[in-house]
Amino acid sequence: MPEALEITTFKLLKGLTRADFIAANADIDDYLRRQPGFRWRRIAEDKDGTIIDIVAWASAADGRRSATGIMTEMAESPVHATIDQGTVEFRLVPVRHHVS
């Protein structure tokens, strides 16, 4: 099974900053580190304020399992209260090429 990237983009709720979002992710970061297949996570911000959250997984199955857990097991995480849920776009895609 090929490595997969979970790519989620969204806007933050008005009045919140990237720093607020990152601080609210402490429990999510811990959760991700415990998940089978977790490789790495990067959070970026585009000039229009869009947050780009990318997580690398050993497989798409690992990514799907974790994404479900973030919405169920981690439903009480403070991170959910920072995101404008109407702007969320989520993709989980297999990696077809990489350069090390």
pLDDT tens for each residue of the chain, 100 residues long: 789 999 999 999 999 999 999 999 999 999 999 999 999 999 999 999 999 999 999 999 999 999 999 999 999 999 999 999 999 999 999 999 999 8
Q: What is the pLDDT of residue 75?
A: 95
Q: Is residue 39 part of a domain?
A: yes
Taking the C-alpha atoms of residue 93 and residue 98, their distance in angstroms, rounded to an integer, is 13
CATH of the domain at 88: 3.30.70.100
Amino acid at 73: E
SS3 of residue 68 by DSSP: helix
- Regarding pTM above 0.85, the answer is yes
Q: Is residue 74 part of a domain?
A: yes
Q: Is residue 66 part of a domain?
A: yes
Amino acid at 65: R
Q: Is residue 99 part of a domain?
A: no
Q: Tell me which residue range forms the domain holding 82.
A: 4-94
Q: Is residue 70 part of a domain?
A: yes
Q: Report how far apart, in Å, the C-alpha atoms of 92 and of each of 4, 15, 23, 63, 87 are.
A: 7, 29, 24, 7, 17
Q: What is the pLDDT of residue 100?
A: 87
Per the structure, how many domains does the chain have?
1
Q: Residues 6 or more apart from 73 whose CB is under 8 A from it?
A: 31
